[in-house]
Amino acid sequence: MVKKLLFLPIFVLLVLFSVNLAAANVFIEDAHINSDVDEGGITSGVIDSGSGRGGDYELIACGIDSDGSNPFNAPSPGAWNEIDNSTCFQPNCQNGLWGRFADSPDSEEVTCSWGDDSVAFVAASIRYSNVDRDNPIIDSGCSEFVDGNFILPAVSSEPGAQLVSIQLFRVQGSTTLSAVEFDQFSAEFAEIVTFNDDGDRVLALQGLSEIDEDGEGFPGAVFPLQTDIFAAKFCVVSLRMATRQVPTMSEWGLISFAAFAGIAGFWFIRRRQLTA
């Protein structure tokens, strides 16, 4: 019985500490993908924001087929912060990336829209919990084409952050693939559509999000790009975890009680062993 009494306060301590540690990472609540193809041309597409808890942070990425500069309008509804809104290289596709905090736990249909007609649209969304409300983005960067090289910039991070990489590209070919997998630690998605533009073309949006345990970030890369093969845009974003919460007075009371009871129980057992 004495051993059971000793185990109880130790268990309480472990539970409290595990809850506190669990708040030390940015976690994934939901993820979605969507696409649309219309040879007659479209000027908008939708993506579900995903469900979770009030106060979650949401990222959405949208891509379209485009022959030139064709910037996206701000998504609607809601107030979104623009992270990227730029053309691929070559300028055969347009990439848009935005983030916001959601007050509602419910999923919402978000519309991406643009000026000129596009025959293809792809989109993805990821919803995160435990993101810093005041300063959610640690760093971000998107690819550039300089002197014949495709340059992926280095992006800094912090321990416990989510490191998100998103790639939009347009190539010649024919394929169809739609897949999204996620748990609380990581997410992978791919939304690929085929359309006809003087031959089969593929517009693809692919991404990976995972906890950056050590805060290493993305180191960047430089490599030659064969511009006659495909057009692409690559972006990386690191999301800052919320500051670990200080225990409340009631939690401190439980911690103090557990510590006291554990010490007292250990002392009592030692006394019995010495007098036995």
Q: Identify whether the C-beta of residue 153 lies closer than 8 Å to the C-beta of residue 220.
A: yes
Instruction: Tell me what the pLDDT averaged over the chain comes to.
Output: 83
Average pLDDT of 32-44?
Answer: 94
* Dihedral angle computed from the Cα positions of residues 157, 235, 106 and 176, in that order, rounded to the nearest 10 degrees: -140
User: CA-CA distance, 24 to 185, in Å (whole number)?
Assistant: 12
Structure tokens at 275: 């007098």
Q: What is the mean pLDDT of residues 231-249?
A: 80
Q: How confident is the model at residue 214, as a pLDDT?
A: 94
User: If pLDDT is split at 50, 70 and 90, which confidence band does 2 have?
Assistant: very low
pLDDT score, position 51: 97
* Residue 75: half-sphere exposure toward Cβ, Cα within 13 Å: 32
pLDDT reported for residue 268: 44
Average pLDDT over residues 210-229: 86
For residues 163 and 208, what is the distance between their CA atoms, to the nearest angstrom?
A: 8
Mean pLDDT for 118-147 is: 95
Greatest mean pLDDT range, 70-74, 86-90, 204-208: 204-208
**What is the distance, to the nearest Å, from the Cα of residue 168 to the centroid of all Cα atoms in its chain?**
16
Q: How confident is the model at residue 272 (pLDDT cuts 50, 70, 90)?
A: low
Pairing of strands 200-212, 177-182: unpaired
Angle at 114 between CA 108 and CA 120, to 5 degrees: 85
Dmax (CA) for the chain in angstroms is 93
Residues 6+ apart with CB under 8 A from 233: 84, 86, 87, 88, 89, 93, 95, 142, 143, 167, 168, 169
Whole-number Å distance between alpha carbons of 154 and 170? 24
Q: Residue 266: what pLDDT?
A: 44
User: Is the N-terminal amide bond of 219 cis, ω within 30° of 0?
Assistant: no
Q: What pLDDT, on the 0 to 100 scale, is given for residue 244?
A: 56
Query: Closest by alpha carbon to 99, among 123, 130, 125, 73?
Result: 125
Q: What angle do CA 45, 167, 33 make, to 5 degrees?
A: 40
Mean pLDDT of 57-81: 92
Is 18 a residue whose pLDDT tops 50? no
Per-residue model confidence (pLDDT) at position 65: 92
Quick one: pLDDT at residue 229?
62
How much is the pLDDT for 136?
97
pTM beyond cutoff 0.85: no
pLDDT recorded at residue 3: 44
pLDDT tens string 171-205? 888 777 889 999 999 999 999 999 886 667 899 99
Q: In what order do the strands lie in the sheet with 221-224?
A: 144-146, 149-152, 221-224
**Rounded CA gap, 63 and 112, in Å?**
9
